[in-house]
């Protein structure tokens, strides 16, 4: 076979392969797992935080529950409004705990999706879903990631799938909503968290100090349109 004929045949074969590709090769799937709490290995992707880092007395834990048929994550603990005596921190509020994912290796790109979904079994409290993106909202000299938050209310004792459109997440700065019209960049996501406060939330949700518990099956990205 001549060199010209070989090049022509290779080009023809490549064209045939391109014409036989499936639509799935071009369009991302309609849903994508971000986290799946089906093994203890999942715990290595998260770390806990609470007001205890600043003199508060709230406590939290994260473990995997295995009932023999299926595993799920359990984020639980106790919210306290008390503050340790003699603490050096001048905190204005206590009564919060959270679980935050460790930073992804690079970024996770959710640009092809419009919704975050969480399958949860709650306790009647209101939780906060947070997405962390690369810092461009705050001044470049600050090291903190940008945070985008949305309330998550889960009815007590039943599994429930919460679906939050990405454009419902509000930009926040240290827990306070930024009063500006900003858009999240879903292609530069660094991590996520789920947290709970003793106060605030949606009407009808359980509030105040005391125990909390939420089971987590998975967190996914969805494309609904």
Q: What CATH class is the domain 30-222? A: mainly beta
Backbone angles phi, psi at 52, to 5 degrees: -65, -20
CA-angle at 174, arms to 208 and 141, nearest 5°: 170
Question: Along the 225 residues of the chain, how does pLDDT read in single tens digits?
Answer: 455 555 555 555 555 554 444 544 557 788 999 999 999 999 999 999 999 888 899 999 999 998 878 899 999 999 999 888 777 767 666 899 999 998 877 789 999 999 999 999 999 999 999 999 987 655 555 566 889 999 999 889 899 999 999 999 999 877 788 887 888 889 989 999 999 999 878 888 999 999 999 999 999 999 987
User: From the CB of residue 140, how many other CB atoms can be counted at a distance below 10 Å?
Assistant: 7
Q: Whose CA is closest to 32, among 163, 194, 219, 168?
A: 219
User: Is 188:106 a contact under the CB 8 Å cutoff?
Assistant: no
Domain boundaries, the chain: 30-222
Determine the pLDDT at residue 19: 46
Helices (H), the chain: 3-19
Determine the pLDDT at residue 20: 47
Question: Using CA atoms, how far apart are residues 50 and 44, in angstroms rounded to an integer?
Answer: 18
Prediction pTM value: 0.82
Structure tokens at 106: 């690079």
Instruction: Give the C-alpha distances (Å, rounded to integers) separating 164 from 23, 58, 124.
Output: 27, 28, 18
Question: Using CA atoms, how far apart are residues 10 and 13, in angstroms rounded to an integer?
Answer: 5
Structure tokens at 181: 């019209």
Structure tokens at 189: 């996501």
Determine the pLDDT at residue 105: 78
Determine the pLDDT at residue 68: 77
User: Is 210:196 a contact under the CB 8 Å cutoff?
Assistant: no
């Amino acid at each position: 076979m001549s060199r010209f004929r070989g090049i022509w045949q290779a080009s023809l074969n490549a064209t045939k392969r391109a014409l036989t590709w499936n639509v799935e090769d071009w369009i991302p799937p309609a849903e994508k797992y971000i986290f799946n709490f089906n093994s203890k290995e999942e715990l290595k992707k998260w770390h806990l935080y609470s007001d205890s880092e600043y003199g508060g007395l709230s406590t939290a834990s994260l473990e995997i529950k295995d009932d023999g048929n299926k595993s799920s994550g359990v984020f639980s603990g106790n919210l306290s409004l008390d503050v340790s005596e003699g603490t050096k921190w001048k905190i204005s509020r206590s009564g919060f705990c959270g679980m935050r994912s460790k930073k992804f290796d690079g970024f996770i790109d959710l640009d092809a999706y419009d919704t975050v979904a969480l399958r949860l079994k709650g306790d009647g409290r209101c939780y906060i879903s947070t997405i962390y993106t690369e810092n461009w909202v705050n001044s470049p000299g600050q090291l903190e990631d940008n945070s985008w938050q949305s309330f998550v209310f889960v009815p007590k004792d039943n599994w429930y799938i919460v679906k939050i459109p990405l454009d419902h997440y509000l930009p926040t700065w240290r827990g306070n909503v930024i009063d500006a019209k900003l858009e999240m960049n879903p292609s530069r996501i660094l991590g996520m968290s789920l947290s709970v406060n003793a106060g605030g939330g949606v009407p009808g949700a359980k509030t105040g100090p005391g125990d909390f518990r939420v089971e987590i099956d998975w967190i996914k990205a969805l494309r609904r349109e």
